[in-house]
Structure 1
C-alpha cells in the first residue's frame, strides 16, 4: 500500500515566487506529517503556469527570478529533509525555449526522472515546446508514469505508459475552467481521471491549481483515484489543501488492441476526408421487437422518416437485447456491433459495451471520421462512455435494456430516457456536424495533435 498526497495551490504570478516557495514548503511538510510517502504538486507550481510569453518569463529572470536548477535543488533539499518523494511541475529552460515539465525526486533527494508535457493546451503553444518522450520512471515506490494536465486527454499517452510497465500515474495539472459562465467545470475531475484509472487498472493522483492566473481560471478539485476508478480523496474547487489517500499500485492492464487497430492507431494522424456536409440525424426510440416492428414504425404516419437519415433504437430487438437500425431509403436495416456505415454524409459506428470499455475501437472509428458511436448494452460505466465521447469529439449513444443515454462530444450527458410504452415513441434530432470540430481549444486537436511515432501498445 502506498500513501500519496496531492497538494492544491492557488494561481500565482511570476513576481510572487518567494511566496510560492513558502507555501509549497508548508504543503510538503504537511504531507509528511500525514505520513505520505509521495506528494504531487501542480503543473508549473514553479514559478507560474500562465506566463504570457517566453519574453515575459525571461524578463522576470533578469529581474531576479531564480532558474529551474534552483527549484530542482530546493525540491531535493525538501525531499531529503522530509524523507518524502516529490513530483512537481515547473518551467524548465532549454536555451531560449521553455518546456512545461514535471520532476520526480526521491526521498533521498535524487532526481529520478522528468516528463515534458506532450499534448499542449491552447495558450501552452504561446510559451512551451512539446515534450518528445513518453517513458515511465523507476522509483523506490515502483515504476510510475507522469502525465501533465492535457496529456490525460489523449488515451494513447496513458496507454503507452501502462504498456511500458507503469503501476500508477501521477498528474501535475492546472485544470482550466471550460464550463459555462458561473458554472466552473472541467471533464478531467468530473469523469476522465476515473475513466483512465478504471480502463488501465492503475491508481492516478492529480494535483491541480485553483483561482486565476492571467485570463485562465482553474477549477481545483485535486484528487486521488484508485485502480477501480473510485475517488479516494479530493480537494474542493477553491481551497489551498492537501488530500491524502492509501492506494495499491497494481499490475497494469495492457491496452487491449488488435493488430489491425494497432496499425491504425500508430499510423500518421490526419483528419478523415470530408465527403459531404452531414445531414441532421433523426432518432426514433421505440419498444419494438424484430424487424417487422421497425418496418411498421417506418411506414407509420408522422414517423419522420421522410427526412432521412433516421436511426431507430429498439429496446426489445429480435434475438434479445437492445439494438438499432438505420433507415436511409427503403426498409430499415439492422446495425450490428462492429459495423460502420455512412448515410447522408453521416458516419455511424456501432460497438458492443465490451469493446467500448477500451479506447482502441472507438478511436479507430473516430480516425475514419465517425460522427456518432452507438454502444449496445449496459455492461459499461458512465465515465467510460463520457471518455469515449470527449477523447474523440464524437457523440456517443448508449442503447441499453431499460433506455438510452446520449453524450455530446464534450462528454456531458445531453439526453436520456427510458423506453416508451408500447405504441409510443421518443423522437429527437442530432446536428452531427458538431462532431467534425476536433479542437478542444485553440491548436488543441484530438486527432491531429496525436504523435503516433511515440506510442506503444
Structure 2
C-alpha cells in the first residue's frame, strides 16, 4: 500500500511567459513541500488562453512538445508527475497546425500528450481538434488527460477508464457564464456544470478525478477557479475557492480505493455494450 498525494491547481496564467514559469515553479515547490506525487495545472498555463476578447481572436504562443519550454517544466517537476496545458504547434498538410494540448512530464521526460478533442463555440478559429484518447502509465499509476470541454462528454472519460486509467486529470480554463453571470462565482451556472461533470465522471467510472482550472480574468473571460480532487464515489476530497490555491488530497491506496468503489454499484463494471446505440451527433437545430 503506497499513499498518493494529489494536487489540482486553481491559478491565473497570462501571456507573459516568464511569469507563467515563475508561477509554475512556485506551485511545484508548494506541492513538493506537501508531499504531492501528482500535480495537475490548468489548461493553457504556458502563455495563456486562446483569446482575449469574444470575436477578436489573439494567437497564444505555441510550442513543440520536444522544445525547450516543455523541457523547462519537466526539469522543474523533477520526480513529481506534473500535467500542464499549452498551445502546441505541429507540422500539418497546410503549413502548421496549432492544438490545445496537455502534456504530462516526470523525471525530466514527457510521459503523455493529449490534444483537446472537443472544441467549444468558435475555438476552432485558433486551434485544431485532436483525434485520439489514450491512457498512459506514470510512476504514480495509469492516468488519462482531458482538456476543459472534453470532460462534458462521458464517452471521453469512459474511453480512458476502459483503457485502464485510474486517475483522470482535467485541465481547464473554464469561465463563468458569458450571459447573465451570477454575482457570486459559486452560484454561476457554469460553476455548477463544471462541478457536476467532475463528480459525475468520477462516479460513473469509479475512479479519481483531479480537476484544475484557471482563476482570475483574461480579456473578457472570468474564470471560475475551484480546483478539486474527487474520489471514485463522486465525493469531493479537496476543493479550492474560486481564487488561487491547491486542492490537495491523499489517497492511501489508489488500487484499493477503486476496488472498493466497484464492489457494489459500479457503472464501469456493469456495462451492457450489447444494448447501447452507436453514438452519433444530433442534427443541428
User: How many Å separate the matches in 1 of 2:271 and 2:64?
Assistant: 43
Q: In the TM superposition, what whole-angstrom CA distance separates every residue of 1:32-87 from its partner, at most 9, and x where no partner exists?
A: 000001110000111111335998437x67xxxx766222111111122xx21111
Q: In the TM superposition, what whole-angstrom CA distance separates every residue of 1:314-363 from its partner, at most 9, and x where no partner exists?
A: xxxxxxxxxxxxxxxxxxxxxxxxxxxxxxxxxxxxxxxxxxxxxxxxxx
Does the residue aligned with 2:17 lie in a helix, a strand or coil? helix
User: Which runs of 5 or more structure 1 residues have no equivalent in the other structure?
Assistant: 273-436, 438-457
User: How many Å separate the matches in 1 of 2:175 and 2:275?
Assistant: 36
Give the aligned partner of residue 138 of structure 1.
137
Give the aligned partner of residue 102 of structure 2.
102
Give the aligned partner of residue 84 of structure 2.
88
User: How many Å separate the matches in 1 of 2:25 and 2:144?
Assistant: 24
Does the residue aligned with 2:84 lie in a helix, a strand or coil? strand
User: How many Å separate the matches in 2 of 1:140 and 1:23?
Assistant: 24
Deviation (angstroms), 1:257: 3.0
Provide the aligned length of Structure 1 versus Structure 2. Answer: 259
Q: TM-score, normalised by structure 2?
A: 0.83
Does the residue aligned with 2:169 lie in a helix, a strand or coil? strand
Distance 1:2 1:97, change over 3 A: same
Q: In the TM superposition, what whole-angstrom CA distance separates every residue of 1:110-164 from its partner, at most 9, and x where no partner exists?
A: 2111011111122422211001001101112211111111111011001111111
1:258 to 262, 269, 273: 273
Q: In the TM superposition, what whole-angstrom CA distance separates every residue of 1:199-226 from its partner, at most 9, and x where no partner exists?
A: 1100100110111112221100010001
Contact 2:5 2:35 in 1 (8 A): yes
Distance 1:76 1:190, change over 3 A: closer
In the TM superposition, 1:12-91 aligns within 5 A as 12=14, 14=15, 16-51=16-51, 56-57=58-59, 69-80=67-78, 83-91=79-87
Higher Rg: 1
User: Which runs of 5 or more structure 2 residues have no equivalent in the other structure?
Assistant: 263-267
Distance 1:41 1:255, change over 3 A: farther
Distance 1:136 1:255, change over 3 A: farther
Does the residue aligned with 1:36 lie in a helix, a strand or coil? coil
Give the aligned partner of residue 283 of structure 2.
271
Q: TM-score, normalised by structure 1?
A: 0.53
The reply on whether 1:176 has 2:175 as its aligned counterpart is: yes
Deviation (angstroms), 1:245: 0.4
Distance 1:255 1:170, change over 3 A: farther
Does the residue aligned with 2:8 lie in a helix, a strand or coil? strand
What CA RMSD, in Å, does the superposition of the two structures yield over aligned residues? 2.4
User: How many Å separate the matches in 2 of 1:200 and 1:255?
Assistant: 10
Does the residue aligned with 2:113 lie in a helix, a strand or coil? strand
Give the aligned partner of residue 243 of structure 1.
247
Does the residue aligned with 1:57 lie in a helix, a strand or coil? coil
